[in-house]
Structure 1
Amino acid sequence: MKYLVVLESPNKISKVKSYLEKVFPQHSFLVKASMGHITELVIKNEKYPLGIELDTMTPIFNVVENKKDTIKQLISFANEVDKVILATDPDREGEAIAWHLQEQLKCQNKTIRLTFNEITEKAIENAFNNPGQLDYQLVNAQQSRQMIDRIMGFKLSNLLQKAENLKSAGRVQSVALKLIVDTELERKEHNKLEYWTIKQEYKDKNEIELYLDQDGKEIVKDKVLNSQEKAEEVLSKITNNLVVKEIIETEFSKNIYDAYTTSSILQDANIDLNYSSEKTTNLLQHLFENGYITYPRTDSTRLNDDFVRAVHKFIATNYGQEYVGQYKSGKTKENVQDAHEAIRPTNINLTLDKAKKEIANYDEYKLYELIYINTLYALMANETGVKYKVLFSNNGYTFKLNFKKYHFTSYYDLQEIVLDNFDYHFKVGEMITLESEWIAEQHFTKPSPRYTEHSLIKKLEIAGVGRPSTYATIMRTLINREYIKFDNKSIYPTEDGIKAHNLLQKYFSNIINEKYTADMEKVLDRIADGEINHIEFLKLFYNNFILDFNNATSIIFKNSVKCSKCDVGYIIQRKSYKGNYFKACSNFPACKNIVS
């Protein structure tokens, strides 16, 4: 049988074709690529200015100009084969691309949908032996997101351009901007408070610190010592003779590593390798296309059973059975689709020494190294031990000493990290005499730190804003719109960013916020699951949004002067590329009227 296999990326063609021909030599395979999306919502269409038929909430698509030749070629190939395999990426975007391909190629009667999470011989064979059909609910969810983003993006961007000469707004990017500006405002309004701590060095450079005052108030949490005078008063009352008051023992057994999601690998690559989210996203895609890692757009930490068994065998062989962990897939968090397993190496036996010889690009190798080590540690045995909190008393004050005793240090052994493993022995009621001096130290409360790229992505994930495929796009858009800038990794809002935020929050705070955006993601998930009728939801969304939009427009331009030249725009203050201000039509570039 003769097959046409359509992938998204041409970089996958060679590997996928070789695996198919090796495993299924009785068939003939023609493997081609769509090079991503082949269609787009129409732009500047008089009948459908938003690219949407609003009465029926039907998206109006046309073929992307530079994909017309690709479509012609694929149509020709499709006519020559028995079956057309749509093997686009295994997510909503990939499902939508597959649907558009089916529509354009007019091959509904001979279409097969294949998905695979990794480009390996086993995964390709399994996908071919278990074909599926297009999931129209996923397509509905993707197109719903696309239409909502188009409506909000076009309308709000147009309003910002007319009202403030700003560049754009977006459903998700504007929420990310809100987080950044809110933090900046919080920092400016922060009221710095003074407080003092009292400590004394103990053995092994550990410290015993004043914990509770004579009334049982926490010294640090309650800012009890808020002046030097109060600190000195306490110093005059305490001595070096402490009585052991209580010993609190807590056993621990934990693994601080978890298999990578898109969010967590973007964060770690930013921290450890200084890669931007955009750079990491591109490198992940290359590693996936070359068969080194699994699909890189995921919100799950789940790993498949075969891979877990292979890694456990690898750990036992190379490090010893005692280092093998007991894998549990973990509870799925809220807002997690769990459609794909975590980001991991496709082959644990491609060790770092071997990978260094195979992966020519240094940056790609360093990212593979990060993924490989993280995955290995995530499947190792837990670190175990006991945490101790010892409370002492002196003259009515309570002091504390925290330390750990490890039983098993697991992955730390591989990292050659020497942990503080204290071996103190205390008995309740005994007195110890310290040999150093109590030191009082002044502190001041600090405002919330500015976001870095990795901490903003973490916040967006926790808030349920955005999806694995959108984090890098959010950052890139805010940078390109000149709404944010970086200084030593810290993110600052620009003047334009603050202006955009202020206008959006003044008139659209009910939809430009974390909760609304997270709730929208949940609705899209329910559309994908077939629980919500997407047409009804889109109509409800649009009717509510357009009421808010029209109300905001009437208020903003209430006292504005209509442009006498085009009768569409308003005369607003604009800023030239040289930084000079002038009055001109908000309908630029369609209208170039300048008022002297």
Structure 2
Amino acid sequence: MPKYRIRLKEISKRELWKQIEAPSHIDSHLVTSQVSRRVIDRIFGFELSPVLWKALKMGTLSAGRVQSAVLRWICEREKEIRNFQSESYLEIQASIYDQKDFILTKYDLKDPDALLGIEHQETLKKQYLLDEEGRPSEVTKFTLIDILSKAYRHPAPKPFTTASLQEYANKHLSFSPSQTMSLAQSLYEGKKKGKETIGLITYMRTDSTRISEDKKNIGFNYLHTFFPHLSVNQRSQKPRKTIGKQDAHEAITPTRPDWSPDELNGILKPDELKLYTAIWERFYQSLLAPETGLVFTYLFESKGQHWKYEEKQVLSPGFLAFKDKAIKIGDGKSRWSKSKQFDLEQIRFEEKQTKPKERYSIGQIVAKMERTGIGRPSTYSATIETLLKRKYILHVKSRLGSTSLGERVCDFLVSNCSNLIQDDFTKKLEQDLDELAQGKNDAFQLIDEFYKGIKKIRFLEVSKKRAMDTKKSTDCPNCLQGTIQSKFAKNGKTIYFCSRYPKCNFVSYESPKSNNH
């Protein structure tokens, strides 16, 4: 008896009958690709994890093809933050006014990357005759000497992929990736509305931004009926280019775009309704015209110094008007003419410090996984959850930071098998697996080549650095008799303690300076 496969992009009666009428056969290439992916992932973990156990003297460690590459990103960012050298600089603003307007201008540096030194404060205080509060002791004029304008165009956002949905939900709804996928699964499986049970969104594991023409037409009709004042974009957006993109499923969209969130209030749980609302709004925004406008830059001169003020003017709100009806529309003209003069009210000096890049948020990690082609939509949330479970990373406020344990694991992998956790290697492997799914590659050859590369790592000796570390000891700063020992805590951090504990009660998360013996 022949066997067929049907592919449901959503759970609905319409979609089910459509696929039953046009069934497909089981794709052996897809099966081979999936089996090969599982074999390669297991080889990676089974071969490298024991090496970690031996090197770091812990039997609970693990390495993974995707998780180790993601761990490297987080550890590298953590070290970058730790090694960052902060610099002091001045931010200078002047508040100026005329009979109608009051604006805040910024001191204009020709080099946008240059920093103002603290010495500029005294120079400007003397030049503008400022008191302690930064107010001038005499009337001081600011003259508008030039007006620049630049057109801008912000395209409508594309409908959600798995990665962009997780990123949005993490940033705007404070949902973790696993929470987002759990809620999306519930919406996909469906809810009972009246006498009918229907899935509310399309399949939620996808890297595509495509929308079917039928669904676009439903969306356009809905917009014409309920939002006739909005400008739709009849031209199809080009799908976003993503490395290793499979494009097997359409974007995440409502199965019934005509069901607004208000109609499902009381049917969905609060968090389900929040996520459905985000998907529903994003679908309709993706069908609308871009936001366009002008950015005016006003350049002022006063006592030989230059100041600037920027102002954005929306000419056509496009997709923004779907959620915000109170957007002020400009006329495309500048507010003032050249040579107009303003009076100085006050100059404010604020000393600031340069800051390092922020730690990655969960959403940023997911977006980077999609952008670089590492992992698949079905593994994004699982990868982060695994790193958290292993205590390789931890939550630092709303961001992700590496633990001491995570950095030890990452350092060992970078020192001994760096090529296996580089973006290019992982990306190339994903592309090879995708080619298997298209029948363009040989599974045995791919697995064999991968295994030969991994096998070399299996027999590595514990890194020389660790051997050198055993020759060093650090005196206990408390009793001066014992030496400092270390172990990993349950939270992944390293605890340092005296070898004479409990006679000496020295315990710290900070590593004392080492002395060679």
- Corresponding letter in the other structure for 1:308: K
Contact 2:159 2:253 in 1 (8 A): yes
- Corresponding letter in the other structure for 2:61: K
> Which deviates further from its counterpart, 467-476 or 510-519?
510-519
- Corresponding letter in the other structure for 1:385: G
The counterpart of 2:395, out of the listed 481, 486, 491, is 486
Q: Normalising by the residue count of structure 2, what TM-score does the alignment of the two structures yield?
A: 0.80
Partner of 1:180: 74
Partner of 1:475: 384
- Give secondary structure in 1 for the equivalent of 2:256: coil
Q: Using the TM superposition, give the Cα deviation of residue 326 of structure 1 relative to its aligned residue in structure 2, in angstroms.
A: 3.0
Partner of 1:282: 182
Q: Using the TM superposition, give the Cα deviation of residue 494 of structure 1 relative to its aligned residue in structure 2, in angstroms.
A: 2.0
Pairing 1:371–2:279 present: yes
Partner of 1:332: 240
Higher relative contact order (CA 8 A, sep 6+): 2
Contact 2:200 2:254 in 1 (8 A): yes
- Corresponding letter in the other structure for 1:305: E
Contact 1:257 1:378 in 2 (8 A): yes
Cα distance in structure 2, aligned partners of 1:362 and 1:242 = 53
- Give secondary structure in 1 for the equivalent of 2:32: helix
Contact 1:255 1:381 in 2 (8 A): yes
Cα distance in structure 1, aligned partners of 2:172 and 2:466 = 49
Cα distance in structure 2, aligned partners of 1:189 and 1:471 = 29
> Which deviates further from its counterpart, 138-147 or 278-287?
138-147
Q: Using the TM superposition, give the Cα deviation of residue 162 of structure 1 relative to its aligned residue in structure 2, in angstroms.
A: 2.4
Mapping for residues 232-271 of structure 1, pairs under 5 Å: 232-237=122-127, 240-271=140-171
Closer/same/farther in 2, CA of residues 417 and 235 from structure 1, 3 Å limit: farther
The counterpart of 1:231, out of the listed 118, 121, 133, is 121
- Corresponding letter in the other structure for 1:196: L
Closer/same/farther in 2, CA of residues 207 and 461 from structure 1, 3 Å limit: farther
Cα distance in structure 2, aligned partners of 1:543 and 1:358 = 55
Q: Using the TM superposition, give the Cα deviation of residue 383 of structure 1 relative to its aligned residue in structure 2, in angstroms.
A: 2.3
Q: Using the TM superposition, give the Cα deviation of residue 411 of structure 1 relative to its aligned residue in structure 2, in angstroms.
A: 4.4
Cα distance in structure 1, aligned partners of 2:291 and 2:124 = 39
Cα distance in structure 1, aligned partners of 2:36 and 2:287 = 38
Contact 2:151 2:293 in 1 (8 A): yes
Contact 2:10 2:201 in 1 (8 A): yes
Partner of 2:337: 427
Contact 2:155 2:290 in 1 (8 A): yes
Closer/same/farther in 2, CA of residues 245 and 535 from structure 1, 3 Å limit: farther
Cα distance in structure 2, aligned partners of 1:557 and 1:499 = 11
Partner of 1:169: 63
Cα distance in structure 2, aligned partners of 1:522 and 1:240 = 65
Closer/same/farther in 2, CA of residues 185 and 555 from structure 1, 3 Å limit: closer
Contact 1:209 1:399 in 2 (8 A): yes
Contact 1:262 1:298 in 2 (8 A): yes
Cα distance in structure 2, aligned partners of 1:419 and 1:577 = 51
Deviations 1:117-174 (A, max 9, x none): 1112222222112211122222222122211111111111121122210421111111
- Corresponding letter in the other structure for 1:250: K
Closer/same/farther in 2, CA of residues 436 and 419 from structure 1, 3 Å limit: farther
Q: Using the TM superposition, give the Cα deviation of residue 523 of structure 1 relative to its aligned residue in structure 2, in angstroms.
A: 2.0
- Give secondary structure in 1 for the equivalent of 2:420: coil
The counterpart of 2:369, out of the listed 460, 465, 471, is 460
The Cα RMSD (Å) is 2.9
Cα distance in structure 2, aligned partners of 1:115 and 1:191 = 54
Closer/same/farther in 2, CA of residues 327 and 235 from structure 1, 3 Å limit: farther
Q: Using the TM superposition, give the Cα deviation of residue 507 of structure 1 relative to its aligned residue in structure 2, in angstroms.
A: 0.7
Cα distance in structure 1, aligned partners of 2:80 and 2:387 = 20
Contact 1:184 1:492 in 2 (8 A): yes
Q: Normalising by the residue count of structure 1, what TM-score does the alignment of the two structures yield?
A: 0.70
Partner of 1:507: 416
Closer/same/farther in 2, CA of residues 217 and 280 from structure 1, 3 Å limit: closer
Partner of 2:502: none
Cα distance in structure 2, aligned partners of 1:434 and 1:554 = 68
Partner of 2:296: 388
Cα distance in structure 2, aligned partners of 1:196 and 1:156 = 50
The counterpart of 1:527, out of the listed 432, 436, 447, is 436
Contact 1:301 1:329 in 2 (8 A): no
Contact 1:299 1:337 in 2 (8 A): yes
Pairing 1:211–2:108 present: yes
Cα distance in structure 2, aligned partners of 1:236 and 1:554 = 61
Cα distance in structure 1, aligned partners of 2:91 and 2:271 = 45
Contact 2:405 2:488 in 1 (8 A): no
Partner of 1:272: 172
Pairing 1:537–2:446 present: yes
Q: Using the TM superposition, give the Cα deviation of residue 337 of structure 1 relative to its aligned residue in structure 2, in angstroms.
A: 2.2
- Corresponding letter in the other structure for 1:122: R
Contact 1:246 1:390 in 2 (8 A): yes
The counterpart of 2:405, out of the listed 489, 492, 496, is 496
The alignment-based identity, stated in percent, is: 28
Consecutive unaligned residues in structure 1, runs of 5 or more: 1-108, 560-572, 582-596
Cα distance in structure 2, aligned partners of 1:580 and 1:390 = 58
Aligned residues: 452
Q: Using the TM superposition, give the Cα deviation of residue 244 of structure 1 relative to its aligned residue in structure 2, in angstroms.
A: 3.6
- Corresponding letter in the other structure for 2:120: K
Closer/same/farther in 2, CA of residues 521 and 187 from structure 1, 3 Å limit: same
Closer/same/farther in 2, CA of residues 555 and 139 from structure 1, 3 Å limit: farther
Cα distance in structure 2, aligned partners of 1:557 and 1:180 = 23
Cα distance in structure 2, aligned partners of 1:409 and 1:341 = 27
Mapping for residues 339-418 of structure 1, pairs under 5 Å: 339-359=248-268, 361-416=269-324, 418=326
Partner of 2:346: 437
Mapping for residues 306-325 of structure 1, pairs under 5 Å: 306-320=214-228, 322-325=230-233
Cα distance in structure 1, aligned partners of 2:363 and 2:417 = 27
Deviations 1:80-129 (A, max 9, x none): xxxxxxxxxxxxxxxxxxxxxxxxxxxxx511111121112222222112
Closer/same/farther in 2, CA of residues 544 and 198 from structure 1, 3 Å limit: same
Cα distance in structure 1, aligned partners of 2:370 and 2:125 = 46
Contact 2:242 2:371 in 1 (8 A): no
Cα distance in structure 2, aligned partners of 1:250 and 1:487 = 39
- Give secondary structure in 1 for the equivalent of 2:460: helix
Partner of 2:41: 149
- Corresponding letter in the other structure for 1:230: H
Cα distance in structure 2, aligned partners of 1:337 and 1:328 = 20
- Give secondary structure in 1 for the equivalent of 2:89: strand
Q: Using the TM superposition, give the Cα deviation of residue 401 of structure 1 relative to its aligned residue in structure 2, in angstroms.
A: 1.7
Q: Using the TM superposition, give the Cα deviation of residue 395 of structure 1 relative to its aligned residue in structure 2, in angstroms.
A: 4.8
Q: Using the TM superposition, give the Cα deviation of residue 362 of structure 1 relative to its aligned residue in structure 2, in angstroms.
A: 2.7
Cα distance in structure 1, aligned partners of 2:355 and 2:171 = 22
Mapping for residues 25-174 of structure 1, pairs under 5 Å: 109-164=1-56, 165=58, 166-174=60-68
Cα distance in structure 1, aligned partners of 2:435 and 2:298 = 50
Deviations 1:444-480 (A, max 9, x none): 1101111221222223223322221111101110111
- Corresponding letter in the other structure for 2:166: L
- Corresponding letter in the other structure for 2:182: N
- Corresponding letter in the other structure for 1:277: P
Q: Using the TM superposition, give the Cα deviation of residue 237 of structure 1 relative to its aligned residue in structure 2, in angstroms.
A: 4.1
Closer/same/farther in 2, CA of residues 112 and 196 from structure 1, 3 Å limit: same
Contact 1:384 1:408 in 2 (8 A): yes
- Give secondary structure in 2 for the equivalent of 1:140: helix
Partner of 1:191: 85
Cα distance in structure 2, aligned partners of 1:346 and 1:576 = 48
Contact 1:404 1:420 in 2 (8 A): no
Cα distance in structure 2, aligned partners of 1:149 and 1:455 = 24
Contact 1:384 1:409 in 2 (8 A): yes
Q: Using the TM superposition, give the Cα deviation of residue 191 of structure 1 relative to its aligned residue in structure 2, in angstroms.
A: 0.3
